[in-house]
């Protein structure tokens, strides 16, 4: 199913080097290497959360090196909330939650532009609460059904 060509998906809109420069600018990182570290860390963490067709379609939107960082991860059996995602990333890297949140915001701002609004909406529907904010989107709560 996944090895079939997806001709409806366009080639990535930027190279990996261009992505790194945009993340470097967005995150105000002092070096390209620090931006690359953030990209690889955040995409690896995201690769543990995004599954199914959304994962495949997102990988097609990213530069090859970024797509490999995303898809090299085996999805976790239990999805984390947005805050759980940040805490998990901080624990795995030894960073503070504030640094993990900063890195996430810088990288996912670029990922959301590459994915586009339709794919991003699909991804956010499949993830638990808290991810829209990480992608720089408003997170509207759905009204609870009356009991």
With contact defined as beta carbons under 8 Å apart, do 57 and 118 qualify? no
112 and 60 Cβ atoms separated by less than 8 Å? no
Please tell me the predicted confidence (pLDDT) of residue 13.
76
Nearest 5°: the CA angle 37, 65, 14 is 100
d(CA 105, CA 67): 18
Q: What is the pLDDT of residues 55-87, one digit of tens each?
A: 999 999 999 999 999 999 999 999 999 999 999
How far apart (Å, rounded) are the C-alpha atoms in residues 83 and 65? 26
Question: Which pLDDT does position 5 carry in this prediction?
Answer: 44
CA torsion through residues 38, 43, 49, 54, sign: positive
| pTM to 2 decimal places | 0.86
Residue 9 has pLDDT above 90, yes or no: no
Q: Rounded CA gap, 108 and 114, in Å? A: 10
pLDDT band per the 50, 70, 90 thresholds, residue 12: low
Place of tokens 């790194």: 20
pLDDT at 134: 96
> Which residue do the tokens 């090859």 mark?
64
């Amino acid at each position: 199913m996944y090895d079939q060509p997806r001709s409806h998906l366009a080639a990535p809109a930027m190279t990996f080097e261009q992505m790194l420069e945009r993340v470097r600018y967005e995150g105000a990182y002092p070096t390209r290497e620090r931006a690359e570290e953030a990209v690889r860390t955040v995409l690896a963490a995201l690769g543990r959360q995004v599954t199914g067709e959304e994962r495949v379609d997102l990988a097609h939107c990213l530069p090859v090196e970024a797509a490999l960082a995303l898809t090299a991860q085996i999805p976790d059996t239990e999805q984390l909330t947005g805050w759980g995602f940040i805490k998990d990333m901080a624990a795995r890297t030894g960073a503070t939650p504030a640094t993990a949140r900063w890195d996430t915001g810088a990288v996912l701002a670029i990922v959301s532009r590459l994915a586009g609004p339709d794919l991003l909406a699909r991804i956010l529907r499949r993830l638990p609460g808290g991810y829209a904010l990480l992608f720089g989107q408003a997170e509207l709560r759905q009204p609870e059904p009356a009991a």
